[in-house]
Structure 1
Amino acid sequence: MLLAIHHVAIICADYQRSKHFYSELLGLKILAENYRAERQSYKLDLQLPDGSQLELFSFVGAPPRPSKPEAQGLRHLSFAVLDVANTVEWLQQAGITVEPIRIDPYTGAAFTFFADPDGLPLEIYQVAARV
């Protein structure tokens, strides 16, 4: 039986730039960083406060991700936040461009999108505080 999402893997174009974005700007905790010489590839394990993880990979010659028009496959990665407006302000102070805040017509929750250094769509989605 499936319990939760353990991790999401992302392949980046510029490892140092993406490492800085996810660990320094977004504040994800670095769990492990390994260089795999046989593949000329870095693997960086990052953790969110709830224990879920992102794996950041670099591969020589990896093609760019098509995003517009939207391609089949993973559409975006969404992060739960308690306050979208405050998170947007925090992202903008870090120099990250963020789309205007929208309201989900089905749930009434606030959300918006921004992109990582390779154009991967990232979403912040407002959730209720856990009691």
Structure 2
Amino acid sequence: METCKVLGFGHVGVQVQDLERSRRFYGELLGFEVVWEYVHTDYHMLVMGKNGCVVELMEGEGKLPDGALNHLSILVDDVEKGKAELEARGVSFETDILLDPDLYPRGEKFAMFRGPDNERPQLEQIL
């Protein structure tokens, strides 16, 4: 991408069966701290991090058929520019740019697409 700046990996989204068990594992064993917690009607999300390594743990009904590793977030400075650049290069997105006002203090914008082996990258802009 040329006009959209990649800032680094945003996070790795992991589908979990027991969020409290995962909270203890990442917190007590690995020393991760809670960055953000969000309870939606269909799922419960817990974002935990340590030294720039961030995991998004998700438990709930909104499970996707992608296994435990749900998505890989690529943090960008402008999700609109990034999506437009990738589309111009032939990438098809699974979603439009979505706004989640409840994630992070001011929300986030993101869009999902597939990689060559059906992996799910996500462009993410934290507002």
With the shorter chain as reference, the TM-score category is 0.3 to 0.5
Greater Rg over alpha carbons, structure = 1
TM-score with structure 2 setting the length: 0.46
Q: Which has the higher contact order (CA 8 A, sep 6+)?
A: 2
TM-score with structure 1 setting the length: 0.44
